[in-house]
Amino acid sequence: MPGLSVIVPSYNSEKSIGRTLAAIRGSSYGQYELIVVDDGSSDQTALIAEKYADKLIRLPCNSGKNNARRKGLGAASAEIIVNIDSDVVVRPDTLANISNYFSEHPETGAITGLFSKHHPNDDFFSQYKNLYMHYIFKRLPEKVTFLFGSIYAIRKESAVICNNHYKFGEDTAYGQQLVSCGRQIAFLNDLEVTHLKKYNFFSLLKNDFRIAFYWANILIKYKGWEQLGKNKIGFAHSPVEQLISVVLAFLISLCVFVPLLRNLKFLAASFCLVILWLVLNLRFFWFLFREKGLLFILGSIFLTFLDNIVMASGIILGLVFGLTSFFRDDKE
């Protein structure tokens, strides 16, 4: 029996899945089975996966990553399940580190990791998004309440309790479900993978709006306000500092762009809020400066502010839908 079952859900991933699977096959740890679940792809994903997979599951139509992972879980032989997205590259020692951690920490139900600082695409938006994610995650505590979909591992007995309807944000919901059932999730800040996804201006903002929307939904479902500020985090992967930054950016946008609020007092207040927002993000901008230099950081300040406003919009709508569902379920 293999020590690990590695599941790679994939959908139209022909541009990246070859690199993903080749990196897994290049692991220093050899006691694993590789299961690829092709979620109804219309490109060459399945043909590429055949060259690498021990088990290839082909689904007749696209049904979402949740369902693909469940199909992979049903075919898994090992007691430790490793989930790797089809657009990331693991390090040679990744699987060995996962196996060793579970052996040394029997109390842990799942572990999760993060993106490395390196990104193969040199464009501004891909570099910014990757560094932003790395910076946020690198400051997380050892115990967390979410799973990071790009790379996480879970004991099979814990994986079977994970069941939710979320199409996006499902990994955050999985983590909340695990913690509510008494399982521990460990965050390993050296469990890094390289992300291959390329972003542009619109895809970055669309992605962050969607994440914020479902993050807010999940916060309502699991009463995330009770977790705010505990264990040095805000809720799930979002630190308090990030949440305050999002709120400040939204308030600044109201003061500056809403005509009814455009008077001297509100403009003065918005100036103070801008200074506070800059101070709050100073460490992040310093991090970007050290990594990429002055020109990069100038564009990043504008993008971070705009992205914060987009996140705020997603959170507001997510809270509205989440509260509606919460009260409807409560009545039922």
DSSP sequence for 135-190: HHHHT--SEES---TTEEEEEHHHHTT-----SSSHHHHHHHHHHHTT-EEEEEEE
pLDDT of residue 320: 86
Q: What is the mean pLDDT of the chain?
A: 89
pLDDT at 179 over 70: yes
pLDDT of residue 157: 86
Q: What is the pLDDT of residues 280-292, one digit of tens each?
A: 999 999 999 999 9
- What's the predicted TM-score (pTM) here? 0.90
pLDDT at 260 over 60: no
Beta strands in 4-54 (DSSP E): 4-10, 32-39
For 269-274, what is the mean pLDDT? Answer: 85
Q: What percent of the chain has a predicted confidence (pLDDT) above 70? A: 90
pLDDT of residue 62: 86
> What confidence tier does 136 reach under pLDDT thresholds 50, 70, 90?
very high
> What confidence tier does 217 reach under pLDDT thresholds 50, 70, 90?
confident
Contact 78, 120 (CB under 8 A): no
> What confidence tier does 232 reach under pLDDT thresholds 50, 70, 90?
low
What element of type H or E holds 69? Answer: helix 65-75
pLDDT at 48 over 90: yes
User: Tokens in use for 225?
Assistant: 């306000």
pLDDT of residue 311: 96
Domain 4-198, second-level architecture:
Alpha-Beta Complex (3.90)
| Spatial separation of the C-alpha atoms in residues 300 and 125, rounded to whole Å | 9
pLDDT of residue 167: 63
pLDDT at 328 over 70: no
For Cα atoms 283, 289, 291, give the angle at the middle one, nearest 5 degrees: 105
| Spatial separation of the C-alpha atoms in residues 46 and 66, rounded to whole Å | 18
189: three-class secondary structure by DSSP: strand
Contact 45, 38 (CB under 8 A): yes
pLDDT of residue 331: 45
> What confidence tier does 228 reach under pLDDT thresholds 50, 70, 90?
confident
Least confident of 187-191, 216-220, 225-229, 318-322: 225-229
pLDDT at 329 over 70: no
> What confidence tier does 321 reach under pLDDT thresholds 50, 70, 90?
confident
